[in-house]
A and B are shown apart, each in its own frame.
Chain A
Amino acid sequence: MIFGQVHGTAVCTIKYAGTEGLKLLVVQPLNKKLEPIGALQVAVDVVDAGIGDLCMMVRSREAALAMPEITFVPVDLALVGIIDELIVRPDGDFDYTLRSGVTHYS
């Protein structure tokens, strides 16, 4: 699941059958430092997020499974959580590289 910020809403009258009544939000995917990565996308909202909310999104088939009633609609990005608290340690704290040889982790 990835971070996202809601930037707006989208309204769509003519669309795939079965996707009526799904709330569409324009979201900006973010990284852990809450910097934008990639372009704006449209996600289906499941938890009534508002403009400016920091939220958690899920992609691919799991987004279709996150719909209110599980119907197989062509949705590949769903907004499944509104983040209230986020604690992220700065990059310098940990070592992310895999070195050859044996490495023991506490």
Chain B
Amino acid sequence: MILGKVVGTVVTTLSHPHFDNRRLLVVQPMVSEGEESEDEFIAVDHTHAGIGDTVLVNREGNGARQVLNLPDGCIISVIVGIVDSVEIIE
């Protein structure tokens, strides 16, 4: 899973049935100092996160299918947690 920051929201009316009544958020991955920033992506919200929240995102299909209990769901990224604090010891 990765740490990301929710930077936007996406609204789609015409979409695959698996995305019905699920919220879509734009997530920008967080990187440590001096590293190059990674590409942002769209994730399905599972924890009522909002813009500006720091979130935990699962970017692997199997995990996403289990979290959303869609046995053959076509969803890769799911927000599985809202982060309160992060401690990094170097």
> Interface residues, chain A, CB within 8 Å of chain B?
1-3, 31-32, 37, 46-49, 56, 58-63, 65-66, 70, 78, 80-89, 93-105
Q: Which of A46, A89, A101 contacts B51 (CB 8 A)?
A: A89
Known A32-B7, A89-B7, A102-B85; judge A63-B74 contact (CB<8 A).
yes
Contact, CB under 8 Å: A47 / B32: no
Contact, CB under 8 Å: B8 / A66: no
> Interface residues, chain B, CB within 8 Å of chain A?
3, 5, 7-16, 18-19, 24, 26, 28-33, 37, 39-43, 51-54, 61, 64, 72-77, 83-90
Contact, CB under 8 Å: A97 / B31: yes
Give the shortest distance, in Å, between A101 (CB) and chain B (any CB). 7
